[in-house]
């Protein structure tokens, strides 16, 4: 039996169904592990704890991924370029936490210039908005003169933050959001930021690739730990 033949089809009516081992993920396309299922809170939390995330276009079934290697950032290793440091010192942006989560996700869902589509489907939006209302998903917002010009959102489990997406309509606004997030996470004793897939943009911030098996071990270690009790309270 080839590796491709082991792709698991999940039952949409069984949110407690176990995922296959991440070691069974395909090599091509890299990390594809399962198809189908649902986006219930329990399924999503179970997925992320195991290093699995949903990612599909609106015309596809739900696809579940666990790529190897995995891009992560250890908060203490954050790197800030000179030009971005200069922007931060000017303090022209205002940064808030969890003020307009829905607006951030909707802005992230807008097609990029280089890509006419989006993976943030209505199902993803509804699922993460539910996770936000339960205190599991969070956003960072960046404002300029009262207008939302950048931000990001993701999922927090234990001492791990799973980054999902970011956006900007003003130069450097998403970078300011990312730096603000990581500096907060570091202060709250978070141990790891999951960046999912490798991009030069995130590597410039100090993100690094680690083997999937090492990433899974870090999740097992840190997802059950409690962050600072005051985390996500500065709304």
Domain co-membership, 135 together with 160: yes
- To which residue do tokens 């995922």 refer? 19
- Four-residue CA torsion sign, 44, 50, 54, 60: negative
Identify which of 87, 106, 99 has the alpha carbon closest to the alpha carbon of residue 170.
Answer: 87
Domain co-membership, 168 together with 216: yes
> Residues 74, 194: contact at Cβ < 8 Å?
no
> Residues 31, 211: contact at Cβ < 8 Å?
no
Domain co-membership, 117 together with 182: yes
Pairing state between β 70-73 and 147-157 = unpaired
Question: Poorest-confidence range of 100-109, 188-197, 212-221, 224-233?
Answer: 224-233
Give the CB-side neighbour count of residue 182, counting CA atoms within 13 A: 23
From first CA to last CA, the distance across the chain in angstroms is: 52
Identify which of 10, 6, 87 has the alpha carbon closest to the alpha carbon of residue 46.
Answer: 10
Q: Does the structure show a pLDDT above 80 at 115?
A: no
Domain co-membership, 191 together with 153: yes
Structure tokens at 127: 């699922």
Domain co-membership, 34 together with 50: yes
- Of 24, 39, 68, the last residue of a domain is 68
Q: Does the structure show a pLDDT above 70 at 206?
A: yes
Tell me, what's the pLDDT at 1? 35
Global pTM?
A: 0.94
Domain co-membership, 167 together with 133: yes
Question: Poorest-confidence range of 117-121, 132-136, 154-158, 168-172?
Answer: 117-121
Q: Is 39 a member of any domain?
A: yes
Structure tokens at 61: 């079934």
Question: Poorest-confidence range of 20-29, 110-119, 171-180?
Answer: 110-119
Domain co-membership, 75 together with 36: no
Our count of domains for the chain comes to 2
Range(s) of the domain holding residue 138: 71-222
């Amino acid at each position: 039996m080839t590796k491709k033949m082991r792709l698991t089809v999940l039952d949409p009516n069984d949110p407690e169904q176990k995922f296959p081992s991440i070691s069974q993920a395909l090599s091509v396309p890299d990390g594809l592990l399962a198809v189908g299922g649902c986006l219930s809170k329990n399924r999503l939390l179970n997925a992320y704890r195991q290093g699995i995330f949903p990612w599909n276009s609106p015309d596809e079934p739900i696809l579940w991924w666990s790529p190897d290697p995995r891009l992560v950032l250890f908060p203490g290793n954050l790197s800030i370029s000179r030009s971005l440091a200069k922007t931060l010192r000017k303090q022209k942006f205002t940064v808030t936490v969890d003020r307009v989560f829905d607006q951030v996700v909707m802005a992230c869902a807008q097609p990029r210039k280089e890509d006419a589509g989006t993976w943030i489907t209505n199902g993803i939006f509804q699922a993460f908005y539910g996770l936000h209302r339960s205190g599991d998903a969070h956003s960072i917002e960046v404002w300029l003169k009262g207008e939302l010009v950048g931000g990001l959102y993701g999922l927090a489990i234990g001492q791990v933050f799973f980054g999902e997406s970011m956006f900007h309509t003003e130069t450097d606004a998403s970078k300011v959001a990312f730096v603000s997030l990581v500096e907060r996470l570091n202060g709250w004793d978070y141990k790891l930021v999951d960046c999912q897939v490798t991009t030069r943009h995130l590597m410039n911030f100090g993100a690094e690739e680690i083997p999937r098996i090492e990433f899974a071990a870090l999740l097992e270690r840190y997802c059950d730990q409690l962050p600072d009790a005051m985390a996500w309270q500065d709304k």
